[in-house]
Amino acid sequence: MKAELKKNAFFKFAIISIISYLVFYLIYNYILKKYTYYDQNFIGHIIKVSNSVLQTIGYKTFLVLQDRDYQVIGVDGSSGVWIGSKCNSITLFALFSVFIIAYPGVIKHKLWFIPLGVLIIHTLNICRVVALALIAFYSPESLNFNHTYTFTFLIYIVIFTLWVIWINKFSKPKLN
């Protein structure tokens, strides 16, 4: 009986997660990205914050900000780093949020844990953009590897760690 309940709970979690993410994906790709500038404005925000960080630590930088597709940040003397919609972490925010929403737990904990997780992911993504801009300046030959593997691995490890923290610390109601 217990195994059946766990199986049903996992099935419910999986169905809610898949449906929720699918709804997000459809809205994001076929409405927000297609008919609004939200996506590009968010990329512009990431670039501006990353630029501020780079300038604060002493680098002279350049930016290319546009409404569509081609937005770049770099350290003067490099070719810079192109930031596209797949690099803005919005889909990661959604993935993280969907898993927290779908997993059983106290709603009041979800109301603060999801924004905190999104903020952590966003901050990590800005750090990633800063690091990639520095890599493009100091070691451009390793840019593709670090973008594709190193930072992807690190971001997913952080998201997985946040999920584990949620499951172990906050998903169950406290018993008195």
- What pLDDT, in 10s, does the model give residues 10-29? 888 889 999 999 999 999 98
Task: Classify residue 82: in a domain, yes or no.
Answer: yes
Task: Classify residue 150: in a domain, yes or no.
Answer: yes
- Whether 128 and 151 have beta carbons less than 8 Å apart is answered as yes
Q: Per the structure, how many domains does the chain have? A: 1
What tokens does 35 get? 């008919």
Task: Classify residue 122: in a domain, yes or no.
Answer: yes
- Per DSSP, 31 falls in state I
Task: Classify residue 176: in a domain, yes or no.
Answer: no
> Which residues span the domain enclosing 33?
2-170
Task: Classify residue 143: in a domain, yes or no.
Answer: yes
Task: Classify residue 32: in a domain, yes or no.
Answer: yes
SS3 track for 92-126: HHHHHHHHHHHCCCCHHHHHHHHHHHHHHHHHHHH
pLDDT tens for 41-97 read 899 999 999 999 999 999 999 999 876 767 999 999 999 999 988 888 999 999 999
